[in-house]
């Protein structure tokens, strides 16, 4: 019985932790000089770079400023950072990491209540 309980706890904890985060940066070719240098991963979330010109037209119409960084969790947008009028995005990598950690903590607090 003790082994079964331990196994169930391990399975539950792995499912609870299996949240998929992804960081997507979208920019345009003409603004590539203002691309934000992101590491390959932030808090184990992979980073992806995409050109706005390569995106579907409905997505192109939704983006008002480039570059833009969007944090996704389970394929749903969670947070975003967009450039100002200078077409430069001033975001610290630690700010993105903090957003991921904060969301994970909120998730675990909600699960423990």
For 27-74, write each residue's pLDDT tens digit. 999 999 999 999 999 999 999 999 999 999 999 999 999 999 999 999
Which structural domains are found in the chain, ordered by start? 20-112 (3.40.30.10)
Rg (CA), the chain: 18
Q: Please give the model's pTM, rounded to 2 decimal places.
A: 0.79
Size of the chain, expressed as the number of residues it contains: 113
CA dihedral angle for residue 77, residue 78, residue 84, residue 90, rounded to 10 degrees: -120
DSSP strands (E only) in 74-110: 76-82
Q: Supply 5's token pair.
A: 């309980």
Q: Which pair of structure tokens corresponds to residue 59?
A: 């997505």
Q: For residue 103, what are the contacts with CB-CB under 8 A and spacing of at least 6?
A: 73, 78
């Amino acid at each position: 019985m003790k082994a079964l309980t331990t196994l169930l706890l391990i399975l539950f904890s792995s499912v609870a932790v299996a949240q998929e985060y992804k960081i997507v940066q979208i920019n345009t070719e003409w603004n590539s000089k203002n691309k934000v240098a992101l590491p390959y991963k932030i808090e184990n979330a992979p980073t992806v770079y995409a050109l706005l010109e390569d995106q579907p037209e409905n997505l192109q119409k939704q983006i008002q400023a480039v570059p833009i960084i969007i944090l996704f969790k389970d394929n749903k947008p969670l947070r975003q950072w967009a450039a100002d009028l200078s077409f430069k995005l001033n975001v610290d990598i630690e700010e993105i990491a903090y957003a991921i950690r904060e969301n994970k903590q909120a998730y675990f607090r909600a699960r423990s209540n």
